[in-house]
Amino acid sequence: MDSALLNRWTASLSTPVTKQAEQSSGPDLLDAFRVVLFNDEEHSFDEVIEQIIKAVRCSRQKAEKHTWEVHTRGRSIVYAGPMLLCLRVSSILEEIALKTEIQTG
C-alpha cells in the first residue's frame, strides 16, 4: 500500500464515513461504488441498526430507515463512495454475518 493511500486509510479510521464521502474529490468520485445490505431472517432489527451505525457512523434514525428498507424491499444501499471505504463498511457489516455486496455504477 503506498504512503498516500495508507495516510487516507489511517485518516478514515477517525473520520465518519459519511463525512469522508463529502470530502472526496478527484478520481475517487469517478469510482461510483456502493454497499448494498440484504435482508435475512437471522438478525433482529436492533442488531442490524447497531451494526449500520458502527459501519457507516450515521445517526440511529438513518440506520433505522436503512433497516426498514432492508426489511420491506429486501435490500438497501447503506453507503456509496470510494472502493476502499466500501470495503471497510462491508467488512464491518459482515462482522455479524450480515449479507452485503459492493456494486459499481
Residue 32: CATH number of its domain: 3.30.1390.10
Q: pLDDT by residue (tens digit) across 53-103?
A: 999 999 999 999 999 999 999 999 999 999 999 999 999 999 999 999 999
Taking only the tens place, the pLDDT of each residue in 39-48 is: 999 999 999 9
Q: Which domain holds residue 60?
A: 3-104
* 75: enclosing H helix or E strand: strand 75-81
> Using the 8-state DSSP alphabet, how is residue 14 labeled?
T
> Could you give the number of structural domains in the chain?
1
Q: Are the beta carbons of 19 and 81 closer than 8 angstroms?
A: no
Do residues 99 and 43 make contact, with C-beta atoms less than 8 angstroms apart?
A: no
27 half-sphere exposure, CB direction, 13 A CA radius: 2
